[in-house]
Amino acid sequence: MNEITTLAIDLAKTVFQLHGVTERGATVLRKQVRRGQLLSVIAQLPVCLVAMEACASAHYWGRQFHALGHRVKLIPPQYVKPFVKGNKTDRNDAQAICEAALRPEMPSVALKSEEQQAVLSLHRMRALLEKQRKQLANQLRGLLGEFGTAIPAGITPLRKALPQAIETVPQLLRPSLQQAYERLLALQQQCTAFTRQIEQLAAGSPLCRRFMQEQGIGPLSASAFAATIGDPAHYRNGRQLSASLGIVPRQHSSGGKPVLLGISKRGDSYLRMLLIHGARAALRYAPGKTDPLSRWLQQLAARRGVNKAAVALANKNARRLWAIWRAEGAQLSAQTVLA
């Protein structure tokens, strides 16, 4: 009767706090272990539900515990915080994770494989380089503007105008601007290399190739969707998936009167951005097409505006991709094995 059925772990770099309860909710384990002891301690416990916050290293430890035979549940941190009692300590955090895990309707995050995490890491590194490139380009454009050189918006006009513009500034500033220009070119090359690598990965995946047949879905959004969602069975339906990505309206309803606001912007902001930007590209080429989706887009854009039409298509695409994955996922996996 005192056997642990639910074990909560407050993750850290070196010190981990454990909190275990029985089927009746009685606390039978409160222990702090070092990093090197964690796996051996978990291996000695009976098979149970291991709950953690979906934070740094959670997927790594989840795979380790799953290999030991345990069931793993990753809970978003924002759903754990309301259960913290008193001050924030490792002990209280672990107890809060356990309390949240015991709720049957508590949302959770699908456990990602190493390959899925690797693909997402490529996306994150590419996004970081893109951000640095834009920051440097804007800084150069602003500095040259101080000396009377106005360069149009866009990376291509800036790259073409920089060599001549550098010659118009004082001699003291030219070496620094030249180094920044070379750094800008290097960042552009690195971004291109990461983009090509992601495109090759998407082209080699039957699932991503199927995703890319949909309007507004390219290699970046297809690979990011497959890696971020992880397992379509984790969601009851496409509506729940699109809600987890924050591309459905927020609600502020009371007294039986529904009030819909702007999109909730929950979940992964990077994947939501890719879906919406892809939808904008599809919307741009919709005029003149006669297929049902393009006609629907044109009518929606004329009635509600381009921005709302783009978000609506992103919502539709997320739900369509989930349905495709559920319906054709097994067949596409078999194709991968046969290949």
| Contact (CB, 8 A) for 211 and 321 | yes
- List CB contacts of 94: < 8 A, sequence separation 6 or more: 8, 9, 10, 17, 18, 19, 30
- In a domain, residue 208? The reply is no
- Amino acid letter, 269: S
Domain's final residue, options 154, 170, 203: 203
- In a domain, residue 108? The reply is no
Q: What's the pLDDT tens digit per position in 299-315?
A: 999 999 999 999 999 99
Read off the pLDDT band of 80 (50, 70, 90).
Answer: very high
- Judge if 134 and 59 occupy the same domain: no
Read off the pLDDT band of 334 (50, 70, 90).
Answer: very low
- Judge if 18 and 90 occupy the same domain: yes
Give the DSSP letter string of 14-32: SEEEEEEE-TT--EEEEEE
- In a domain, residue 57? The reply is yes
The pLDDT mean for the chain works out to: 91
Residue 86: the pLDDT is: 87
pLDDT at 337 over 50: no
- Judge if 239 and 172 occupy the same domain: no
The residue-averaged pLDDT of 73-97 equals 93
- Judge if 30 and 143 occupy the same domain: no
pLDDT > 90: percent of the chain:
75
- List CB contacts of 60: < 8 A, sequence separation 6 or more: none
- Judge if 223 and 189 occupy the same domain: no
Strand partners of residue 295: none
pLDDT at 94 over 70: yes
- Judge if 322 and 241 occupy the same domain: yes
- Judge if 141 and 218 occupy the same domain: no
- Judge if 218 and 326 occupy the same domain: yes
The beta strands (E) that lie in the chain are given as 6-10, 15-21, 27-34, 49-53, 71-75, 249-251, 260-263
Residue 332: the pLDDT is: 63
Contacts 24+ apart (CB under 8 A), 189-196: 190/129, 191/126, 191/129, 191/130, 191/133, 194/122, 194/125, 194/126, 194/129, 195/126, 195/220
Q: What's the pLDDT tens digit per position in 251-269?
A: 888 888 888 888 888 888 9
- Judge if 169 and 225 occupy the same domain: no
Residue 154: the pLDDT is: 87
pLDDT at 287 over 80: yes
| Contact (CB, 8 A) for 86 and 200 | no
- Amino acid letter, 226: A
pLDDT at 338 over 70: no
Read off the pLDDT band of 172 (50, 70, 90).
Answer: very high
Read off the pLDDT band of 330 (50, 70, 90).
Answer: low
| Contact (CB, 8 A) for 101 and 6 | yes
Residue 224: the pLDDT is: 95
CA atoms of 17 and 82, how far apart (whole Å)? 19
| Contact (CB, 8 A) for 230 and 110 | yes
- In a domain, residue 107? The reply is no
Query: What residue numbers bound the domain in which 255 lies?
Result: 213-338
- In a domain, residue 1? The reply is no
Q: In total, how many domains does the chain have?
A: 3
End-to-end CA distance of the chain: 50
Torsion sign, CA atoms 206, 216, 319, 296 = negative
75: its two tokens: 């809970």
- In a domain, residue 245? The reply is yes
Domain's final residue, options 203, 238, 259: 203
- Judge if 178 and 70 occupy the same domain: no
206: its two tokens: 């039957």
Domain's final residue, options 171, 203, 235: 203
| DSSP secondary structure letter of residue 71 | E
The residue-averaged pLDDT of 310-332 equals 88
